[in-house]
Amino acid sequence: MLLQALEAVTGTMPADLRYAVMSSHFGGQALSKLGQLQTPGIVYLSGRALLNFDPRWYNEIEAITRAEEHLLTKTRADLEPAAKNNQVTIAIDTTQQNRVVGCIVLWELERDRQGVLWYELGTFVVAPDHRYKARGPKAMPIGDALYRLLLHQHRNKNIIGTTTNIHAIHTGLRHGMQMVSYHDLPPDIHTATCICPFSKTGAEDNAHCTIKNLKCRVRVSYPTWVRMGQPTRLSFPS
Ligand SMILES: CC(C)(COP(=O)(O)OP(=O)(O)OC[C@H]1O[C@@H](n2cnc3c(N)ncnc32)[C@H](O)[C@@H]1OP(=O)(O)O)[C@@H](O)C(=O)NCCC(=O)NCCS
């Protein structure tokens, strides 16, 4: 009840105050808890709990990611080091023999010129039959809960998220991600994230990518945006 009240109160705050509360230690903790309460039967695993879980989850994530056009396929070789670094969170459905129904990962990206390591939020996926829109009156915000947990746990890290998927953009908006221009990223981070193939970018040199800041958007977490010096925000596509 108290948690719902917090959500209601933050919903009425001016945007920047709301983002600051959401990304604070206690605000983030409370909203993460709320996300778990709103998804009964779903358990979120990361850190030691994930490493101790049945390793079949690696194959399940591989199959889920292989089926998605917006995602790179991720195998155990990719996932295990990230899981050991506590950068992977999965959602399992305890009412369906602990089937994996969602995932979010913080991938190490590059260091900027000050030596600060930046991370890219990725492998964000909810199994098609568990997506919010797919469940009608039984809708559960599993994607939101994964997002909240990850942003809360890693609020002291510099995090970017790039995507061409409008649903992922909307999820980010609900959690205070700030849409900036690719050109506002530190140069090394910009170069490190723009590694899409010609078939996607229409350019041999990704400095001239034809979808950058248009169909393809970069967002940064609110604390990252503050640390960047609050660059101009671009409007979100609807
Ligand atoms: C991105 C993804 C994880 C979001 O899953 P989800 O949170 O369950 O949401 P859905 O995909 O069902 O969203 C569809 C609609 O449901 C509604 N919805 C979702 N969450 C909601 C919430 N918490 N409250 C109210 N409505 C919500 C919205 O109308 C949403 O449409 P919108 O995004 O245009 O606003 C999911 O679409 C997915 O796995 N996509 C494939 C993988 C992918 O592309 N990942 C992103 C790569 S960066």
Predicted confidence band of residue 35 (pLDDT cuts 50, 70, 90): confident
User: In the block, which residue shows the tokens 């506002």?
Assistant: 184
Minimum-distance ligand 1 atom for the alpha carbon of 130: 8
Per-residue pLDDT tens over the stretch 39-48:
999 999 999 9
The residue nearest atom 28 of ligand 1, judged by CA position, is 133
Q: Which residue's CA lies nearest to atom 1 of ligand 1?
A: 168
Identify the structural domains of the chain with CATH numbers, from first to last.
2-6+15-227 (3.40.630.30)
- pLDDT tier at 187 (50, 70, 90 boundaries)? very high
Q: Which atom of ligand 1 is nearest to the CA of 126?
A: 39
Residue nearest ligand 1's atom 48 by CA? 163
- How far does the centroid of ligand 1 lie from the alpha carbon of residue 55, in Å? 27
Residue 83 has pLDDT above 90, yes or no: yes
pLDDT at res. 76 = 98
170 lines ligand 1 (CB under 6 A): yes
Residue 117 reports pLDDT greater than 90: yes
Per DSSP, the three-state class of 150 is helix
User: Rounded to whole angstroms, how far apart are CA atoms 157 and 160?
Assistant: 10
Contact between 18 and 10 under an 8 Å Cβ cutoff? The reply is yes
Does the Cβ of 38 fall within 6 Å of ligand 1? no
Question: Which tens digit of pLDDT belongs to each residue from 196-237?
Answer: 889 888 998 898 999 999 999 999 999 999 999 999 999 877
What span, in angstroms and rounded, lies between the C-alpha atoms of 64 and 126?
Answer: 9
pLDDT of residue 115: 97
Of residues 66, 42, 8, the one with CA closest to residue 146? 42
Kindly state if the Cβ of 136 falls inside 6 Å of ligand 1. no
Ligand 1 in contact with 152 (CB < 6 A)?
A: no
Give the nearest ligand 1 atom to 141 CA: 23
> pLDDT tens digits, residue range 132-185?
999 999 899 999 999 999 999 999 999 999 998 899 899 999 999 999 999 999
Ligand 1 pocket, 166 CB below 6 A? yes
* 1 alpha carbon, distance to own chain's centre: 27
Q: Could you tell me how far CA 119 lies from the centroid of its own chain?
A: 11
pLDDT tens-digit series, residues 52-63:
999 999 999 999
